[in-house]
Amino acid sequence: MARPRSIRKRSFPDNLYERRDGYFIYRDPQSGTQYGLGRDKVRAFREARAANNHVASTRNDLGLVDRMIGAADTVGSWLDRYDAEIIDKRKYKENTRRQKKHHLTLVRELIGEKTIKRVDTKVISDVIDDTWVKAGKIFMAQTMRRFLFDVFERAEAKGVIPAGSNPARLIEVEAAEVKRARLTWDEFKVIYAKAQEMVATRELAPWAVNAIELGITSAQRGGDIAVLQFKKDVRDGSLWVQQIKGRNPSRVCIPLDLRLHVLGLSVGEVVRRCRENVVLSAYLIHHVSHRGGFKPGDPVFHGTIAKAFAKARDASGLKWPGKNPPSFHELRSLAERLYKDQGGVDTRVLLGHKHERTTALYHDARGAEWMVVKLG
C-alpha cells in the first residue's frame, strides 16, 4: 500500500509524483510505466489529469451517470442478443451459420467486456490491425470488418448505440493479394496422369480420378460434385446440378453430351465411368472400400476430394514459386477457360453465374498462361 501523500502534495492529480529535484513523473496505473513531464508544474498537472481521464475512459468500471444513460450495455451483452435475434433467425446455410458463430466468439474474446457505447473507430481499427492485418491474414481482416460492421449496424437499428455511430463504418482494409495459383492445361495433364498412376498403385482410391474428370468436364464446385446422385441428378440426358453456394443457389442443367475436346471426354462418359465401380452406390463419387469409418457406397466428402487432388498435385513434382499451389477448385476456372476457347458453350450459364463479371474472374488466368495473338 502506498504511503499517504504529504499535505503539500495532496492537491496533486492521481499518479503524479515530484522528485526532490522538482522533476515531475507520471506513473501509468495500468502498466506501471513512468513518464517524465519536466519541471513545469502547471504543464505537469495538466498532462497528468488528461492521462487520468484517458485511463478512466478505457476501463469498464461504470459509474452512476453511465448507468443512468444506459452505457452499462457491454459488447458481450449485445452479442448475446445479436446471436439470438439475428444470426439464429437469418436463413444461413449450416456452414455459414457455424462461421458466424465462430466470428461471434472471436469478437466476444477481443472486446466483449467493453462498454458498447465507448467502442469507437480506433478500438475497431486496432483490433483488426493487431489481430489479423499484422499477421498477414488480410482475407480474415476483411471478413471480420464486414462482420463487425453488421454487428454494430444492427445495434444502431435496435437503439443500443446512437444512429450514425457504427465504429466499423470508416474502417478500410487493404485489398488482399490473391496468392493461389491458377491451374494451366499443361499442369493439369501432369497432375491427372499422376492421379491415374496413384490409383493404379492404390495410393489413391478410384473415385479420385472420377472426381477430377467430373470437375474438369462439368466445371462444378467440389462441394456440388460430392453430393451428386445417379437417380436424382442424372436423367433425361442431362446432369442436373443444384448448386450449394450462396443464398439463392443456381440450378444448372448440363447435357451429358457436353464434351471437352482437349480431354476427349464428355460429361456422360465420366458419369458412366463413375458407375463402373463394382460397388453399388447412389452417389457418383463414392467410397469403394471400408476406410476411415466409411463403408463401400458412402459418399465422399468434399474435403476428402480436395485432399486427394492435393496429394496427386504434390506428388507430381510441379512447383508454383511465390504462390499457393492450385486446389481442386481451380479445375472450375480451367474448365471455364478451356470451354471458352473451344467455343459453343455459354460458360456463364455452365458455372451457374448470374453476372458475366463473376465469370470474368474465373476467366482471369492471373498471369499463368500466355496471351496468344491470333492471325485472321
Give the active site residues. 221, 245, 329, 332, 353, 362
**How many CA atoms within 13 Å lie on the side-chain side of 143?**
14
Nearest-5° angle of CA 118, CA 123, CA 125? 145
Alpha-carbon gap, residue 336 to 179, rounded angstroms: 20
3-state DSSP of 242-304: ECCCCCCCCEEEEECCCEECCCCEEHHHHHHHHHCCCCCCCECCECCCCECCECCCCECCHHH
Alpha-carbon gap, residue 152 to 171, rounded angstroms: 13
Say if CB 37 and CB 43 are below 8 A apart.
yes
**Residues whose CB falls within 8 Å of the CB of residue 141, separated by 6 or more in sequence, listed in order:** 128, 129, 131, 132, 133, 173
Alpha-carbon gap, residue 45 to 320, rounded angstroms: 61
Alpha-carbon gap, residue 69 to 95, rounded angstroms: 39
Q: Give SS3 for 74.
A: strand
Alpha-carbon gap, residue 26 to 34, rounded angstroms: 6
- For residue 97, give the H/E element and its range: helix 94-111
Which residue's entry shows cell 493439369?
A: 188
Q: Give SS3 for 339.
A: helix
Nearest-5° angle of CA 350, CA 353, CA 358? 120
Q: Give SS3 for 68.
A: helix
Alpha-carbon gap, residue 219 to 181, rounded angstroms: 17
φ/ψ of 235, rounded to 5, equals: -160, 155
Return the C-alpha cell found at 333. 476456372
